[in-house]
Structure 1
């Protein structure tokens, strides 16, 4: 299991190995099982202090579970809480991580960090492969629900200006989602967007489309997420929680880059579309004119 974080049910693993742990390791196991939301964001030394054991005991506990060290265990814990924490627990955890004297600065700095990490970790080859998949597709289905719905709408809005074959899937149930993507066929692509807590509807729809031979693309936060596992291809953008709110700044920036890249590949079509739209917008007085400001002066 070393160096692999995929498909690990950490809490079950701890229970399986519990009887073989030392007395100190059992204290750690009990704390993590009951307070994994808090354990995910403390150092090995702090965790040892909380349960009354040495830092080295905490490190040995991680190794006993099959990890290379405590940081790997901590990373799995952080992945675990993304999908398991309730909104109330999220508020409790984030209260310990945010500077409550300056929430504005803390959140903006956190969002900047997420974009920076996303930029450092993005796989350019995968990005280019996904661009080609989208450009070669006959039809493009886009789905995202709950907090990811605005991201799907943003992508759908701009893709509608580039392509003639966009289907933004609006849904309030799993059955409705299947009804809207059932016509997807090989040669089409389904793009599913989901961030913690991951939507079962999106996961099931991606898996359904994939099983039908339709190409699927996930936009999510981790290669280990169930959304990425249900897709043929995926792009990752960092999204850690800020209180009960999911930060979607980095995902939005990633979608922006995807739209711009595809727009550049379809530059002539986009130019012609906007040329026609500008005439329509002007004729039907869609946007405020610059001369409005002049009249006010």
Structure 2
């Protein structure tokens, strides 16, 4: 349990496996993972403030995991996350600097998370083996789905961006499956659109392998996926920052290219030749 190669957040994640959590409890779980070493020394009231929930919610969360109360859960977390906490940022930093620093911290955790590529490689294999690649991304996730799809289309023969909801979404998912899709990538970010979750469940019910990029290993999208690739979002500003999920998307695309390198390289060379002939770029 105390293997130094295992990150504190991964040890904390073990506490939640198999637990059916409410949305508020998932929020608390995400907070505990994101601030694993720090929260092990905070009171229930301080954790509630950090997670943006009520103090009774923190107590009920601990009891839902089988503990007598939050102090018992905190003792377990101290055992799981030994070591010193990171010092607080200097007070002279303004709110914008702190938001950017939080993103830098997220990327540092993502870097450490990628020390083990098992999930990324498994996800890449699912997607590389799919002749048609549907990419779901609704609401806040739509730009990221489009960004991934723009570059994926340079190395994959048939990439379909599904970025609008409504009844047409499931129709387009069916069309992709009938055209040969064996897997789907879904980008699902807070506040977790219901239509995205419904599409994931429908995809699984029809036999598609589901890969999800989401903000936390305990998000509702992760619970429904075959492979979940978590990357934290920034919450310091009025609207979330998606630096981490974007980095994860590009890491996944690189892994897809690595899983099937010859066709990817051939398609890239074909694109470059076409771009040169058509004078698409100035440089």
Q: Tell me what 2:194 maps to.
A: 200
| Aligned residue among 266, 269, 274 for 1:275 | 269
Q: Tell me what 1:214 maps to.
A: 208
Matched, 1:228 2:240: no
Q: Contact 2:215 / 2:230 at 8 angstroms: preserved in 1?
A: yes
Matched, 1:8 2:21: yes
User: Quick one: distance in 2 between partners of 1:9 and 1:198?
Assistant: 13
Q: Tell me what 2:107 maps to.
A: 115
Q: How well do the aligned residues superpose, as a CA RMSD in angstroms?
A: 3.6
TM-fit CA distance, 1:61: 8.0
The count of corresponding residues between Structure 1 and Structure 2 is 229
Task: Provide TM-score, normalisation by structure 1.
Answer: 0.65
Aligned 1:139-178 pairs, distance under 5 A: 139-171=132-164, 173-178=165-170
Aligned 1:122-141 pairs, distance under 5 A: 122=114, 123-141=116-134
User: Quick one: distance in 1 between partners of 2:147 and 2:182?
Assistant: 20
Q: 1:63 to 1:270 in 2, by over 3 A?
A: closer
Q: 1:60 to 1:127 in 2, by over 3 A?
A: closer
Larger Cα-atom Rg: 1
Task: Provide TM-score, normalisation by structure 2.
Answer: 0.68
Q: Contact 2:154 / 2:271 at 8 angstroms: preserved in 1?
A: no
Gaps of 5+ in 1: 13-39, 51-57, 74-96, 290-297
TM-fit CA distance, 1:161: 0.9
Cα deviation, 1:144-182, whole Å, max 9, x if unaligned, reads 0111111111111111111112211131x3312112112
Q: Tell me what 2:86 maps to.
A: none
Gaps of 5+ in 2: 1-13, 26-38, 50-56, 75-88
